[in-house]
């Protein structure tokens, strides 16, 4: 069973500093993190994410993923996903942000873009995409710094891993968010959803 706590904050009528103006492309981060704020070990391993499963519970991932029409991820995240037994993003276009060539054989729908977050978002929007799932530590940080993330969905796991790849990094401005919902799960996971104040 889970408990839900909902909170609504009044949005400032003026756009909060740091967030980009509204676009037709919505960018969302959906990520798991340790209590101490890491999304992976220093070597990129995410074994700890799967050590306390809750049978039959996906924490709303599939419902969220069904709303996404394009993925944006960094090269390290792409390489990690490529090593999974099956490609987890089948049927979704995937844009990999990298300056390096991809392997000769990649899943259908995978493309490369070496542009800035602003350029990538503009190209995706021009191609008719409406909801991008942004993933990968550096990629998330770059999109946040550019003010391009519209929604944060962060699930905190009840574990300290001591060191690793951090979820958040330096920002040019403070970024304010409206808390939408927090759900706690029987295994101690706590999922919170925030919308960017604009």
Give 11-69 as a DSSP string: PPSSPPTTPPPP-SSEEEEEEEEETTSEEE-TTS--GGGGSS--TT--TTHHHHHTT-S
pLDDT of the residue at 2: 43
Task: List, by residue range, all CATH 3.40.430.10 domains of the chain.
Answer: 1-7+15-41+138-198
Using the 8-state DSSP alphabet, how is residue 163 labeled?
Answer: S
pLDDT of the residue at 22: 64
pLDDT of the residue at 19: 72
Stated pTM of the model:
0.87
pLDDT of the residue at 13: 39
pLDDT of the residue at 3: 44
Please, are residues 149 and 143 in contact by the beta-carbon 8 Å criterion?
Answer: yes
- pLDDT under 70 in the chain at which residues? 1-18, 20-22
Q: Which of 135, 128, 142 is nearest to 171 (CA)?
A: 142
pLDDT of the residue at 9: 36
Please, are residues 171 and 109 in contact by the beta-carbon 8 Å criterion?
Answer: no
User: ∠ CA 180-94-29 to the nearest 5 degrees?
Assistant: 20
pLDDT of the residue at 198: 80
Using the 8-state DSSP alphabet, how is residue 104 labeled?
Answer: S
- Mark 117-126 as b/e (b = at least 16 C-beta within 10 Å): beebbeebee
Q: What is the CATH number of domain 1-7+15-41+138-198?
A: 3.40.430.10
Q: List, for residues 91-145, the tens digit of each pLDDT value.
A: 999 999 999 999 989 999 999 999 999 999 999 999 999 999 999 999 999 999 9
């Amino acid at each position: 069973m889970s408990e839900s706590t909902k909170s609504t904050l009044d949005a400032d009528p003026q756009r909060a500093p740091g967030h980009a103006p509204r676009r037709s492309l919505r960018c969302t981060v959906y990520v798991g993190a340790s209590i101490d704020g890491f999304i992976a070990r220093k070597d990129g391993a995410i074994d700890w994410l799967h050590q306390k499963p809750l049978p039959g519970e996906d924490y709303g991932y599939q419902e969220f993923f069904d709303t996404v029409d394009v993925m944006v991820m960094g090269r390290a995240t792409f390489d990690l996903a490529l090593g999974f037994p099956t490609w987890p993003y089948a049927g979704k276009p995937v844009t990999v942000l990298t300056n390096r060539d991809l392997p000769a054989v990649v899943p259908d729908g995978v493309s490369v873009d070496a542009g800035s977050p602003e350029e990538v978002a503009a190209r995706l929007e021009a191609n008719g995409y409406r909801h991008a799932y942004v993933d990968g530590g550096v990629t998330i940080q770059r999109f946040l710094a550019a003010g391009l993330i519209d929604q944060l969905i962060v699930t905190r796991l009840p574990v300290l891993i001591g060191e690793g790849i951090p979820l958040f990094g330096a920002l040019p401005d403070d970024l304010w968010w409206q808390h939408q919902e927090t759900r706690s799960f029987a295994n101690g996971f706590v999922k919170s959803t925030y919308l960017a104040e604009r």
